[in-house]
Amino acid sequence: MHPAIVSALSSFPRQLEELFAMVPKNDAHWAPDSWEGIPSETLTALEQLCHVRDIEIDGYQVRLRRLLEESNPTLASIDSYELARQRRYAQADPADALGAFARARAVTVDLVRGLSEEQLSRQGFFEGYGPVTVRSIIHFLCSHDQQHLAGIQWLLGKMHARVNG
């Protein structure tokens, strides 16, 4: 995989942690009156952390393994809001979520770093996306990372725009 992609994947946990550190402690659970314009799922800052952790482990790592081990698998999309409800994201500890995510991402980076061109070209079908390859799933993961950085930035913007807040 291209070194820039590996670097982007590797640096994301630190970026996420640094950005989340900007969220005032009392606002980790804060939700705006309107979610219009958010570039990610409509999740609070804390819920964004949990989502990224779970989609890494239960989404992208599973998808990558299946693409590498199976012949043309169909990869399921995950209902993020149902997962948030089932796993009680609102009650999560941010440090635990960030730590678990960083450990999971290290596993993903190790996997991606060692892939051959033949492995990167393996194909499957991703519900909601259509035909994919291992390489395209990795690009979707990088895009997902950026969506959630943007989502937390958006939340910070809304927090700082509050009157008397």
Q: How confident is the model at residue 164 (pLDDT cuts 50, 70, 90)?
A: low
CA distance 65 to 68: 5
d(CA 141, CA 42) in angstroms, rounded, equals 18
Helix runs in the chain, H state only: 3-20, 45-54, 62-69, 80-86, 94-113, 117-120, 134-161
> Domains plus CATH for the chain?
3-161 (1.20.120.450)
What number of other Cβ atoms are within 10 A of residue 60's Cβ?
23
User: Given a cut of 90, is residue 21 above it in pLDDT?
Assistant: yes
- Supply 109's token pair: 């980076």
Residues 106-120: pLDDT tens digits?
Answer: 999 999 999 999 999
